[in-house]
Amino acid sequence: MTIRVATLNEHTAPPHPGELFRQWYDAARPLHPPEPDAMALATVGMDGRPSIRIVLLKQFDEDGFVFHTHYGSRKGEELAHNPSAALLFYWPALLRQVRIEGSVECIDPVESDAYFRSRPRGSQIGAWASPQSHVLKGREDLESRIARFTHEFANKDIPRPPNWGGYRLFPLRFEFWQAQADRLHDRLLYQRRTDQTWSLERLAP
């Protein structure tokens, strides 16, 4: 499929970055199966070193971008130390990327419970069985833990593990990037003002 490269103009862009993100996200979903929600999440450890991984976006609205993980994972521990993070969406079929930076907090446990109930049972068991990011003796160690929790929750509803839940990134900065010929790309920067409105500027490619 040939994709016509769009332009990105600060004079016609919406005043709120969430509106532009929604437009781009809706355009990307049918072109990027099976994971249009995949996003890179960057955090910073106590040693000042960044780390990055792919996670899945589960919800976004005016309040921010939600993902779920183990609180004791590397990213969970880093967010506990430094509750700031960056997200990156890349949609190659449209030659677009979006960078988002902001502060992060745990979502309400009720929201985490509701999402956990919607997960497949195997994923629910996995959340209990995996000590995410921690060292295992071998694959058999993980399989033993899976068997243990499968037996423990047999014929029962599986509750959300106390060390697992959602985070919400509250955006302070968006950068929208649209590829153009000769690497002269369009880049628009939105930054949240103290009155919660947004500034909009064009960046050099």
User: pLDDT digits over 128-172, tens only?
Assistant: 999 999 999 999 999 999 999 999 999 999 999 999 999 999 999
User: By residue range, what is the domain housing residue 190?
Assistant: 17-117+162-203
- The CATH number assigned to the domain holding 72 equals 2.30.110.10
- Residue 131: inside a domain, yes or no? no
**What integer pLDDT is reported at residue 4 of this predicted model?**
58
Residues annotated within the binding site for substrate are 58, 115, 119, 123, 183-185
Q: pTM for the complete prediction?
A: 0.92
Residues annotated within the binding site for FMN are 53-58, 74-75, 97, 132-133, 177, 187
| CA distance linking residue 165 with residue 167, whole number of Å | 7
17-49 pLDDT, tens digit per residue, is: 999 999 999 999 999 888 889 999 999 999 999
Which positions are annotated as active-site residues? Answer: 183
- Residue 146: inside a domain, yes or no? no
At a CB cut-off of 8 Å and minimum separation 6, what does 96 contact? 24, 28, 90, 176, 177, 178, 179
79-121 pLDDT, tens digit per residue, is: 999 999 999 999 999 999 999 999 999 999 999 999 999 999 9
| CA distance linking residue 99 with residue 111, whole number of Å | 25
- Residue 12: inside a domain, yes or no? no
